[in-house]
Chain A
Amino acid sequence: MAELWTKERVLSLAPDASSAAAGRGQAAPGKWPSLGRAGEVLWGECQGSGKTPYQVRVDLREPAYKCSCPSRKFPCKHSLGLMLLFAEHPKSLPETALADWVNEWLESREKRAEQREKKATTEAAKPVDAAAQAKRSAQREAKIQAGVEDLGRLLSDVLRQGLAAAQTQRTQYWQDVAARLVDAQAPGLARLVGELGQTVGSGDQWRSRFLRRLARIHLAAQGYARLADLPSETQADLRTVIGWTQSREELLAVDAASGQWLIVASAVSTEDRVTAQRTWLLREQDGLPALVLSFAAGGQPLDTSLMVGTAIDAELVFYPSATPLRAIVKQRSGSPLLFQEFTGSPTIDAALDAFSLALANNPWIERWPMALANVAPIAPSKLGVGWRLCDSSGGQLPLDPQFTEAWTLLSISGGQPITVFGEWDGEQLTPMSVSARGVFYSCSRRSDRTLLARVS
């Protein structure tokens, strides 16, 4: 545990550089009138600028934080300071009985977890107002159906008039179509159409990419028209593409996949003022991938309980799909442990085969997790050939030209085999994490750029 909670790890949890610096400033025992620890629960009172000290609580098992300060940063500088104290001067936090205000917090968290569980079981058992629900569903179905038909006509028109004509449309045109689909309660399709519009004129070979995207939307629209005839997993995939969401409570009732999960990569993207965090996990025993999404709007903090570079003993529930990837953490036990290595596909071809198989079951896959063992990056040697990964049989895979850390990847490798995890979009790989010579590196945002940095 002491090995896990190093100063570096604590600082890596800081939401930004200024929080990290502020956290360091709080890590002086003199600032804390009271400090305590019970196992992996830390607490302390920190003297701020006001009269009453702030009450700071950290549960390292997740980690989870709670502080009475008004800061909107998460974790705040006091929580960071408390963890830094623990990392640097563990003796300053004496093992004692839980303070009341800490106990209250732990109990309220437990209660909330219980409520969630209870809600899930009661939801599942509850004899819902089937009639009302069916009515609501039917209303939405009808709206979506109309929207999908509308979209079908649009796709036909585009092809009749040709992509050359599509290029003359204003970008607003696609945004309007997307907005109509949002009104039709098909936000997933709306997003796909928005992306389609962005493809127009977007550099080299945009027409081919445009036609591919158009094809994907067409498949979704066609599939949705005969939804009832499809296997239930494909129905679920289609509903996801269209934009139906499944409640967490419904999922908790599904059987879980348990094991030791390596949290191998995480990336954050922002779309329409909503921040989305994709966190990739690999099951240690068999390399089974899982994707945990977290969304936040309006400056709300993202979930921080899954730390890249640590392994957790957990039960995951997958969303129903022909190619199950998206999951939620149903339950976890024990504390996170550091890992340095993960395994990957022995050859690039084997990884591509797995992707083909997945695509056959779910043609709407946008990002496919790919772990590749024994590969080395190769720098562009001539014009028109970009960065690639090369495996031991000489097979090569192109890297996304937008990936800015290729030189860092090459430096880490030094021309020797490394293990790379990344997202494959069908044409290019975006590396996210690397394991080399017993060291784990991962990409994370730092100020306004992505850096491939050492994690453990």
Chain B
Amino acid sequence: MTMSAPANANHPTEAWNALLNTAVLGLDRAGVVHVAAKAPWSYSSKDDSEDPVQQFLREVSTLAIYELAGRAATPAEGQATIEAFDPDERVCSPLAGRLLNEILHGDRTALLADWCAAASSAANTAPPELLPPLLELAVSNDSDSIRNDILAVIGHRGRWLAAQNPEWTPLLANSAADPADNTWETGALPERLVILRRLRSTDPAAARQLVVAVWDQESAADRTAMLEQLAVGLSTDDEPWLDERLDDRSKQVRAAAAALLSRLPTSAFAARMTERVGAAVRFVPGSGLIRKKPATLDVTLPEKPDEAMQRDCLEAKAQRGMGAKAALLNQIVAHAPLNSWLAVQGDVSKWINAALVSEWALPLVDGWKSAAVMQRDSQWASMLLTHVCLTTAKKDEAIDDNWRRAAIAPLVDALSPDTAQAFAIAVLANRSGDIPLWYLDDMLMACDFAWGEELSAAVVTFVKLRLQDPTPYDASLRQLISRAVRLRLAPSFADKVTALLPAQAEKWSDNLISLIHDLVDTVRFRSELRTAFSDQPHETTNRLMAITPGTGDPS
């Protein structure tokens, strides 16, 4: 029942492993171990009659401590990397760093873009301790804009760090340009679309070539998704290939190609649509001097779309409350260049008003809306907003309230920020009582850019008015404040929004109070963010020192 001592019983690690094996088996089964009495950790008991288990326990206890105390630093397995950072690189002020910390860890990610914009315009980088969460956010986010925002503020240190973490390294590479990377060939669709979109923004022709190369082996759904990405950097160079896509076997693909072609006003497709508009709709000016007869529209449509029409994705099939013929008209209008209408009659409002009194109101107005959104035409979009969306529907009108409200967001979005701003200011200033307030909320929600002083002032007045209501709480106002006002109001209005809180808020619900508190807090936060980059002292990356032997001081 005696186990022989291991060969090198006086080496603590070997001895420990031997004891451990015995302990795992159990002393009853393993037999009693003769311990190495001369080992440096042993203190021998004179008492041979001592319980062998006790002897074993004592050996384990002293060896455990001996072994723990004898540990030395493991010799180098790899060298610490020393990297020279650009000495001109400026880390942001401590205050700006604290604000970024609050954005990343304090549930304020909606303000990340603001921080990055302010930092890059001041040529500042994020502080070192916040680079890991930023890189983490950049890789886990599909949005190109967030990724680019973050890459603009990580500086050389961030790039150095990303190069060491395999999960972050892809951020540094332009995947499509890297021949070693085969994500384009083998990746999942979302990854491939990201690659396509990125390349499209730098080299549209090369991106199109990527699609052309794989076109025949992709499913209709994937082809459609890829085609849609060509909206980025779309130009007449794309026209010949897009026009061929109108012969695709999939209807989905043909429709996507038609949508893109309609955005190229000089394309043959646009010319065909212009011709069809001319044939289908005639403007009949109003007449009569005393009892004025309004202008009307004379609509002539073919019984059936001809072959050329069918190739251009036009079909006579009833849909969305429109009969077959109306739907055909709607598609022609939606795909025709909006300029083509003005050659006949230069005043957009006359076209709209004439359409509203005609029996073709819905196909025409809805078609114009689609065209304005697709072609991002500010003039038509603002006219449709003024004359259709933000006027009250008359009874029995073909364009109902639902349509009016739903069209607000896409149409405002089609406006350039400056136009949208001026438009919103004018609407708030001249608003009449019969337009539902939530229409205006929708309009402001769609103004997705930083609001200037004038619009901010108008919005604060508008919100203040709403809050004077004895029960000032509705879902639309809440959304407006939490999703738009809070994030877009000019930061200089921090004090003015504080004044929105009444002296006595007893009548207000807790929800409303916390909503306004959050509004005040966020605007104040954004105002701090602005000052954090202006007058704070900056920290430059300090002098470098070598840590491992053999690496000299690079500075």
A: residues with CB less than 8 A from B are 8, 17, 21, 24-25, 28, 155-156, 159-165, 207-208, 211-212, 214-216, 218-219, 222, 347-349, 352, 355-356, 359-360, 363, 374-379, 381, 385, 388, 390-398, 405, 407-408, 410-412, 414-417, 426-427, 436-439, 441, 446-447, 451-454
Contacts and interface: CB of A to CB of B under 8 A. Distances in A.
Contacts of A163: 23-24, 26
Contact of B165 (A159, A388, A407, A417): A407
Interface in B233-279: none
Given A222-B61, A394-B76, A411-B129, A451 B105 contact: yes
A416 B77 contact: no
B73 A453 contact: no
A141 B547 CA distance: 54
Contacts of B58: 218, 222
A412 B64 contact: no
Contacts of A219: 61, 65
Interface string B518-555: 00110010000000000000010110110111000000
A395 B26 contact: no
Interface in B44-97: 51, 53-54, 56-58, 60-61, 63-65, 68-83, 85, 94-95, 97
21 contacts: A8-B98, A24-B521, A155-B57, A160-B28, A160-B53, A165-B26, A207-B23, A211-B19, A215-B60, A222-B61, A359-B69, A375-B547, A388-B77, A394-B548, A395-B76, A396-B73, A411-B128, A411-B131, A447-B105, A451-B105, A454-B129
Contacts of A453: 101, 129
A376 B23 contact: no
A216 B95 CA distance: 48
Nearest to B160: A414
Given A28-B498, A376-B80, A454-B97, A164 B128 contact: no
A216 B53 CA distance: 16
A401 B259 CA distance: 54
A155 to B, nearest CB: 6
B25 interface: yes
B132 interface: yes
A385 B76 CA distance: 12
B94 A160 contact: no
A211 B77 contact: no
B326 to A, nearest CB: 54
B20 A417 contact: no
B491 interface: no
Nearest to A358: B69
A439 B539 CA distance: 10
B78 A378 contact: yes
Contact of A211 (B30, B64, B132, B524): B64
Contacts of B517: 25
B477 interface: no
B53 A159 contact: yes
A256 B51 CA distance: 46
A416 B551 CA distance: 11
B29 interface: yes
Nearest to B25: A162
A451 B107 CA distance: 15
A363 B65 contact: yes
B440 to A, nearest CB: 29
Contact of B23 (A162, A375, A393, A397): A162
A156 B548 contact: no
Contacts of B29: 162
Interface in B157-183: 157-158, 160-161, 164-165
Interface residues of B, number: 71
A407 B154 CA distance: 14
A359 B65 contact: yes
A207 B64 CA distance: 13
B226 to A, nearest CB: 36
B27 interface: yes
A438 B542 contact: yes
A347 B63 CA distance: 26
Given A163-B23, A378-B80, A446-B105, A394 B549 contact: yes
A417 to B, nearest CB: 5
A212 B98 contact: no
A339 to B, nearest CB: 15
B25 A164 contact: yes
A453 B130 CA distance: 8
A25 B516 CA distance: 11
B321 interface: no
A348 to B, nearest CB: 4
B470 interface: no
Contacts of B82: 415-416
B129 A412 contact: yes
Contacts of B105: 446-447, 451
B288 interface: no
Contacts of A408: 128-129, 131-132
Nearest to B64: A215
A208 B128 contact: no
A159 B79 CA distance: 43
Given A160-B26, A164-B26, A390 B76 contact: yes
Given A164-B25, A216-B61, 20 more contacts: A24-B524, A25-B521, A156-B53, A159-B57, A162-B30, A208-B20, A212-B64, A215-B65, A349-B72, A396-B76, A397-B74, A412-B128, A414-B83, A415-B80, A426-B68, A427-B68, A451-B105, A453-B129, A454-B94, A454-B98
B367 interface: no
Contacts of A451: 105
A26 to B, nearest CB: 11
Contacts of A391: 73, 547
Nearest to B21: A207
Nearest to B158: A411
Given A388-B77, A415-B547, A214 B60 contact: yes
B276 to A, nearest CB: 59
A126 B93 CA distance: 58
Nearest to B131: A411
Contacts of A374: 547
Nearest to A223: B61
Indicate the member of B61, B81, B542 with the most A CB atoms within 10 Å: B61
Contact of A381 (B63, B65, B78, B158): B78
A100 to B, nearest CB: 29
B327 to A, nearest CB: 53
B76 A159 contact: no
Give the top 7 A-B pairs by smallest Cβ distance, nearest first.
A162-B26, A395-B73, A394-B76, A376-B80, A356-B69, A348-B73, A215-B61
B24 A207 contact: yes
Interface in B191-242: none
Contacts of A439: 539
B548 A390 contact: yes
B53 A218 contact: no
B127 interface: yes
A389 to B, nearest CB: 9
Contact of B127 (A211, A375, A378, A454): A454
Contacts of A161: 26, 28
B433 interface: no
Indicate the member of B28, B64, B107 with the most A CB atoms within 10 Å: B64
Contact of B132 (A347, A411, A415): A411
Contacts of B23: 159, 162-163, 207, 211
A415 B29 CA distance: 52
Nearest to B544: A416
Contacts of B83: 414-415
B547 A218 contact: no
Nearest to B78: A381
